[in-house]
């Protein structure tokens, strides 16, 4: 694995984003809607840096089936329907890759009648977007590599790493899906 962003770099990026968000929503209250599961670490750090009246909600969406590193069909869990009507909503996700997850969730939440809706992602992968929308707040632009850590997973592993690392091509195929060991 190759470290792309250290814990300290991430912390500075999240603090900068929190400052931008706070200026954007000055004098208002904000509902952050995190996308499970990849956004949890970012969301937890971001909300603690916001000096605003904040509500937190979650949606569950999965575009990655099993361990595949390329997106499949997006599935939104019906039990996670956040209270968004009449509220200022900020959708929070770990990474903007093709953008299909974010675009789909923004449309879905917009139908629930928020006062406003914007989006924030920690990472945006270069040259991968397949949708017209772009996130309003972006922490870091990264190259088109498969990354793990700080909430992002491979086969549900590595979410706990405090830094962000890129997996090498051979690590993407050789790691055992449940033990995480090279087989």
Interface contacts to ligand IMP, rule CB under 6 A: 35, 38, 63-64, 71, 93-101, 146-148, 152
What is the Cα–Cα distance from 56 to 48, expressed in whole angstroms? 11
CB of 110 to ligand IMP, least distance (A): 17
CB of 121 to Mg ion, least distance (A): 10
3-state SS assignment for residue 79:
coil
CA atoms within 13 A on the CB side of 80: 17
Identify any residues that bridge with 58 across adjacent strands, giving them in sequence order. Answer: 34
Catalytic residue, from 79, 94, 97, 136: name it.
97
Phi and psi at 119, nearest 5°, equal: -140, 150
146's CB contacts (< 8 A; 6+ apart) are: 69, 154, 166, 167, 172
Contacts of Mg ion in 151-180 (CB under 5 A): none
CB of 12 to ligand IMP, least distance (A): 21
- State which of residues 38, 114, 135, 139 lies at the interface with Mg ion (CB under 5 A): 38
Q: 152 is in the binding site of which of Mg ion, ligand IMP, none (Cβ under 5 to 8 A by kind)?
A: ligand IMP
Catalytic annotation present for 51? no
Catalytic residue list:
97
């Amino acid at each position: 694995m190759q470290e792309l962003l250290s814990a300290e770099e991430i912390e500075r990026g999240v603090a900068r984003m929190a400052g931008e968000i706070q200026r954007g929503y000055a004098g208002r209250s904000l509902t952050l809607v995190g996308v499970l599961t990849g956004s949890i670490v970012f969301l937890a750090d971001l909300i603690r840096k916001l000096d605003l009246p904040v509500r937190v909600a979650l949606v569950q969406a999965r575009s990655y089936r099993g361990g595949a590193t390329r997106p499949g069909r997006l599935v939104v869990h019906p039990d996670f329907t956040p209270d968004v009507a009449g509220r200022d909503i900020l959708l929070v996700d770990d990474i903007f890759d093709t953008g299909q997850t974010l675009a789909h969730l923004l449309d879905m939440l917009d139908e629930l009648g928020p006062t406003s809706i914007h989006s924030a992602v920690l990472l945006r992968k270069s040259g991968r977007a397949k949708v017209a929308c772009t996130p309003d707040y972006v922490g870091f632009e990264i190259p088109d590599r498969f990354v793990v850590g700080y909430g992002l997973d491979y086969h549900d592993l590595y979410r706990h790493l405090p830094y962000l690392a890129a997996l090498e091509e051979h690590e993407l195929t050789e790691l055992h899906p449940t033990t995480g060991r090279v087989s």
